[in-house]
Amino acid sequence: MEDGKTSDQGHSSGVVRPMVLIVITLSLMAVLLMSTWVSPAGVRLFLSAVSDEGLGRAGSSATVPDTRDRLLGGLLSPDFDDDSCLSRYRASLYRRPSLHVLSPHLVSRLRRYESLHRRCGPGTSAYSRAVARLRDSMDEHAPAPGPASSNSTSEADPAAECSYIVWTPQAGLGNRIISTAAAFLYALLTDRVLLVQHPGHDLDDIFCEPFPGSSTWVLPEKDFPIRSMERFNTRTPESLGNALRRGEGSRDPPAPWMYLHLQNNYQPNDRRFFCDDGQDAVRGVRWLVLRSDNYFVPGLFLVPRYERELDRLFPRRDAVFHHLGRYLFHPSNTVWAMVARYHTSYLAPAEERVGLQVRDFKFTPISADERYSQIIWCAYGQGILPSVDNNATSAAAGAPDHHQEPTTATKRKAVLVVSLRGDYYEKLSSMYYEHGAAGGGAVSVFQPTHLGAQHSEERHHNQKAFAEMVLLSFSDVVITSAASTFGYVSQGLAGLRPWVLMTPVDGKGPEPPCRLAPTIEPCFHNAPHYDCKTRARADSGNLVRHVRHCEDYPNGVQLVD
């Protein structure tokens, strides 16, 4: 026994034993301190991310940010209590460092927005007066204020300077996240306060409050006079599209509120939101209600009046969601506990983490066997996963020497499978369990959940879904499904260009089975395809330089650089 050897060293034993105790004590203290800030897995991932290989995968020559900067170069505000949102300053330590340049102008605009939200958000006197004014304007017995009274009020009442955009949820969690990010960018461009509606409480306890101060971004619905927003559609009389159809462009005085319908079934007049005349029609409207299941950010780059400001905010057009997503969407303490536990328990020991996100759509049917073949040929063909060793004795003969550092060929890989079904995890896990990886490496496969179906109306379901999005964003390389908003969120938070499993053709995986995405940006699936000058159909992918068709969804457009 080692203890016996130590005690046989005569007079030195009295020194060595206390030294061992001191080293053990200091090590335990270090582990405890680290557990309050970042898990050991986070440290290993950070070290891996800044290696030459990690930088090579990113494909960028940008300067690596200082990973000790928990504010991400000023993207995050320092004005938060750490305990109120454990993930805010910790999640980035689990990810590879971002190589995407952050604009000082964006940092400045975020601080300006936070000041606006503190002044005009829920719980402030300005907000209470703005809601009261909206309620009065909707009262059929209240006289409509003329231009003169509006001007005099704005000089005397700061609430008259507060304008709002109310986002109301639509579709699944991935769609909700990317459309919220788009709404926030529009709020930045127009100096509006963003408020999010949680009508069924299915989004409660999923995200931390993104803006510092006591004012929330959640709409207080109890006293809000605009009702049934979740049922608004193209026929809603107060919609922008219907106002433009009636010939009501810029009004004086402007309407007290207006509805923006930017869902997949929006009509040509709704699409004029992405035209200057549409923006003229909403300019003076204090309250906008938005329903969207789209990442309509590329559409904002089509509006001439926003071109210069967007250039200053995002010198790299292909990192809009990366920056806004890391700013807005921090897992609540409940969700973060799921993330941290799972990462520490299953993903931490690996030198490389591979994310595999599989979503099958009814409009592109494919069998589980065909889809699995597509996944395998993608992973093998791009060197993402090692092939299996079919020799019966390979596990014993090729076992790695645990006294040596693992090489690239023999490194331990953890594969995180995220899917509603368990077939792909079972097949992949069984394959490596039965045969082992060629070259002596170790591949472990994990799947947190396989819920079978999407239930976006359930809070606990959404909490698990967001936890899996965040876990995927800790990957070193990621494979995602074409047209999946779930995948868009994860790749955007990670700052990684994914390998995209291309859409099945006639029930089979296409050739090639996957492609490296040209950008980390989500796709705007239902682009306007509208010419503002001729008011006729046009190709949104050919109007401006940085907006191009999506490879995974050809009718959509996305930002490229």
What's the CA gap between 354 and 163, in Å, rounded?
Answer: 44
Calculate the alpha carbon distances from 543 to 162, 232, 527, 540 in Å. 33, 30, 12, 6
Give the mean model confidence (pLDDT) for residues 336-350: 96
Model confidence band, residue 229 (pLDDT cutoffs 50, 70, 90): very high
Q: What is the mean pLDDT of the chain?
A: 84
Q: What is the pLDDT of residue 279?
A: 97
Q: Say yes or no to pLDDT of 233 above 80.
A: yes
pLDDT at 15: 37
158 compared with 224, residue with greater pLDDT? 224
Q: What is the pLDDT of residue 189?
A: 98
Instruction: Please report the pLDDT score of residue 154 as a whole number.
Output: 41
For 129-133, what is the mean pLDDT? 97
**pLDDT at residue 25, rounded to an integer:** 41
Locate the DSSP E strands across 292-386.
Answer: 352-358
Q: How many whole angstroms separate alpha carbon 395 and alpha carbon 404?
A: 17
Q: Convert the pLDDT of each residue in 422-476 to its tens digit.
A: 999 999 999 999 998 988 889 999 999 987 788 888 999 999 999 999 999 999 9
Per DSSP, 229 falls in state G
Closest by CA to 209, choosing from 224, 229, 194, is 194
pTM given for the model: 0.84
In the prediction, which pLDDT does 158 show? 55
**pLDDT tens column, 72-98:** 999 999 999 999 999 999 999 999 999
Kindly tell me if the per-residue pLDDT of 23 is higher than 80.
no
**Do 522 and 321 contact (CB within 8 A), yes or no?**
yes
Please report the pLDDT score of residue 401 as a whole number: 43
The widest CA-to-CA distance across the chain, in whole angstroms, is 99
Task: Report the pLDDT value the prediction gives residue 453, as an integer from 0 to 100.
Answer: 81
Domain spans in the chain, listed from the N-terminal domain onward:
104-313
In this predicted structure, what is the pLDDT of residue 440? Answer: 81
